[in-house]
Structure 1
């Protein structure tokens, strides 16, 4: 029997925001970053992401700098506050219903995101999704806290295909064993959309909408 899996991008797909960007805004409001410089750099990185030119390793060093300085206890407490004041309000009924629809059909649901695991694991759990493929953060063996470097293949652009293949292989599966839906808003996710049995351009950016229209892919405007 073919296993059905439903893969979901997170930012602008299941939530109408970029969680890493908003986390940066949140920590800046806490006084963890220089407001002018952080805002300027954050916006530059975000524009590079939308353009498909982001250096993911450089960005992760930037995005994790504040929590590396503040340490695990303060960072985890701040993230709990971020969840309650920002993310919970952003989880919309129709997005939650879409995930639950796949779960109720017996599909294995996986969130596949280019945002790091620290920011996104609590968000995935808020959707009731324990299976998360995110950017894994390397940790210092001495302290157990993150270093700012990426561990393994980053789940970004073509790396999402690699990480999903690794996830499948760990379960003794390959692409031929699964029927795979993938929901994404971003042109950055074109490699994984092309691998999916059922690609769904979800709240798509302009470039992805044009490709989806040309190829006859389903377009879902969730928000």
Structure 2
């Protein structure tokens, strides 16, 4: 039995759930369209270029959550799943998840996106274990602040190591599937780094390192 780790955005699903959540909020009229859409798009470009200020972005992403009750947020998320996530579920990704499970591997998602957005997407793939950026919750409401270390770049390694110690797991025989060069710190410590529909920077690095590259599209 080995650990099979999956990135979520543009790996297990065919787009970025964090960016799409912002688009959903704009389309449904839940946020100021012009201001929010422009900021959302700029943060996404920063992510793709590798210069994202993760704390600034997370506060931006968590602010709309802090303005609503959990009941309202859960209703919104059900709409989001139906309108934005179901169309980008990737059958090839599901098949590989199922294959790892059939071999007895332990499957986990590690994503920089906050857990409110991503946990139910993971469950849609039958993956109950997920490490994501946690929003602070007080009295059953999001505060708009980040709780702990964001699961981004080196933060993914830090949070994974904490989880490994807690679960008495190791990286022996481990796999990590990702599309993004932002995930290099984690790709470099697993036994089987695998690029999935990689960005140009990651594809170039994978070629140098002779890492396999596959597609779920």
Shorter-chain-normalised TM-score: which range? Answer: over 0.9
Gaps in structure 1 of 5+ consecutive residues: none
1:26-65 superposed matches below 5 A: 26-65=24-63
The offset of 1:144, in angstroms, is 2.0
Name the stretch that deviates more: 5-14 or 63-72: 63-72
The alignment status of 1:171 with 2:167, answered yes or no, reads yes
Residue of 68, 77, 80 corresponding to 1:79? 77
2:195 matches 1:197:
no
For residues 148 and 198 of structure 1, the distance between their equivalents in structure 2, rounded to whole angstroms, comes to 36
State the Cα distance separating 1:173 from its structure 2 match. Answer: 3.2
Give the match for residue 147 of structure 2. Answer: 151
Contact 2:62 2:135 in 1 (8 A): no
- What's the counterpart of residue 66 of structure 1? 64
Show the counterpart of 1:24. 22
8 Å CA contact retained: 2:65, 2:144: no
Q: Which residue matches 1:111?
A: 109
Kept after mapping to 1: 8 A contact 2:4/2:100? yes
DSSP 3-state at the match of 1:150? strand
- Number of positions where the alignment pairs a residue of Structure 1 with one of Structure 2: 217
Provide the residue aligned with 2:7 in structure 1: 9
Determine the structure 2 residue equivalent to 1:222: 216
- Does the CA contact (< 8 Å) of 2:196 and 2:214 recur in 1? yes
Aligned with 1:114: secondary structure? strand
Post-superposition, which runs of at least 4 consecutive aligned residues in structure 1 deviate over 6 A?
none
Q: Secondary structure at the match of 2:175?
A: strand
Give the structure-2-normalised TM-score.
0.97
Cα offsets for 1:62-89 (capped at 9, x unmatched): 1122221122111110101111222122
Report the TM-score, using the length of structure 1 for normalisation.
0.94
Superposed CA deviations along residues 41-60 of structure 1, whole A, max 9, x for unmatched, are 01110011011111111111
Runs of 5+ consecutive residues of structure 2 not aligned to the other structure: none
Pick one of 123, 128, 131 that aligns with 2:129.
Answer: 131
Q: CA RMSD in A?
A: 1.0
What is aligned with 1:160? 156
For each residue in 1:120-150, what CA deviation from the matched residue of structure 2 results, as whole angstroms up to 9, or x when unmatched? 000000000001011111112xx22111211
